[in-house]
Amino acid sequence: MIKEAIGFGATVDEAKEDAILKLGAKIEEDVQIEIISLPKKKVLGIFGGARAEVKAYVERPDKPNKKHNKPAKKAEAQAKPDKKEKAEKPEVKKASQPQIEAVDQSLIDAASPTGKAIAYLNAILKNLGCENVEVKAAVRDNGATIILEGEGLGVVIGHRGETLDALQHLVSLAANNSGGYFKVTLNIGDYREKREQTLIALATRVAEQVKRNSRNRALEPMSAYERRIIHTAVQEIEGVSSASTGEGKNRRVIIFPEGGTPTMPRRDDNRRRNNRGGRKPSNTVASTPNREPKRDTDIPLYGKITKE
């Protein structure tokens, strides 16, 4: 069974995120993306313009027909092993999708999308001064995971994986320069796995705070990949929902009570209390300006006072 959803956004990445969120896809699912239309800028900033539109779809196993599962209750009662098998279905499902083993780059066809991606990646690594890097790839039908191993790869990861995400985007463009959609994931050791666990823990902790306080919480700006991890984690928690807001590098996830509105939370109460009354308190002492002493000829406001 193929499930699909249409997403919209100011950019293609935002439209992808919107479609995947509507699809309810999990991180481990192989989501395919089809770009329907690119965003169009407004003429003079006023007329026309259109959002990007993409379609995300994923293939999932068909659900068993309940009508055919109603036969004799006696047979179900006698078949206790079947119940165990039914309870272990998720594990069987995982076993039916074995992880593809990564092979050395020398075994990858240079003319394939994966080969083009690796060639571009090697050129970037050389310019960054990263030497003796072992490059492997696990190739699937519509994508590949490229894994780097070696020393001095921190420069490739960057702050919270920002450089790694940007490089992954460029490598994907190199793989798709002949058209079509070939998904490339770039990983260094087990960095993405560790980062995913960190983000899941963050989403769980913040979601519990939202449930307890019934107040929206906004996370720091993240990449589309990391926002998707947060959305997937929140979907598993009852009583809360999540949505993305902002544009470009400032796009972030807001976690809010289920049924609520995904608006940015208000400023902290202490800040509001300190700012109430206008000006901030100053630590400097105001000094009186130097003035010339009054002369006898100076006349007070209500006339000169004389002694009788």
Q: Is 73 helix (H, G, I), strand (E, B) or coil?
A: helix
* Claim to verify: residue 157 and residue 224 sit in the same structural domain: no
CA 85 to chain centre: 36
* Placement of tokens 């329907």 in the chain: 36
- Residue 171 contacts by C-beta under 8 Å, 6 or more apart in sequence? 117, 120, 121, 146, 184, 186
> What is the enclosing helix (H) or strand (E) of 274?
helix 269-275
CATH code of 164's domain: 3.30.300.20
Note the pTM of the prediction, 2 decimals.
0.61
d(CA 6, CA 20): 8
Give me the residues of the chain with pLDDT under 70, please. 1, 27-28, 30, 44-48, 60-99, 267-308
Beta bridge partners of 252: 245
* Claim to verify: residue 247 and residue 210 sit in the same structural domain: yes
Q: DSSP letter for 133, please.
A: -
* Claim to verify: residue 176 and residue 205 sit in the same structural domain: no
d(CA 10, CA 50): 8
DSSP string, 90-151: HHHHHHTSPPPPPEEGGGS-TTSHHHHHHHHHHHHHHHTT--S-EEEEEE-SSEEEEEEESS
Closest CA to 200 of 227, 231, 233: 233
* Claim to verify: residue 249 and residue 197 sit in the same structural domain: yes
The pLDDT tens digits of the residues spanning 60-99 come to 666 655 444 444 444 444 444 444 443 333 333 333 345 6
Q: Is the dihedral of CA 219, 152, 28, 6 positive or negative?
A: positive
Specify if 174 maps to a domain: yes
Q: What is the pLDDT of residue 276?
A: 52
In total, how many domains does the chain have?
A: 3
CATH code of 235's domain: 3.30.1370.50
DSSP H helices, 214-253, are 224-235
The pLDDT tens digits of the residues spanning 233-259 come to 999 999 999 999 888 888 899 999 998
Domain span at residue 207 reads 192-268
* Claim to verify: residue 19 and residue 46 sit in the same structural domain: yes
Structure tokens at 295: 């002369």
Specify if 85 maps to a domain: no
Closest CA to 141 of 114, 122, 161, 166: 114
* Claim to verify: residue 171 and residue 216 sit in the same structural domain: no
Specify if 83 maps to a domain: no
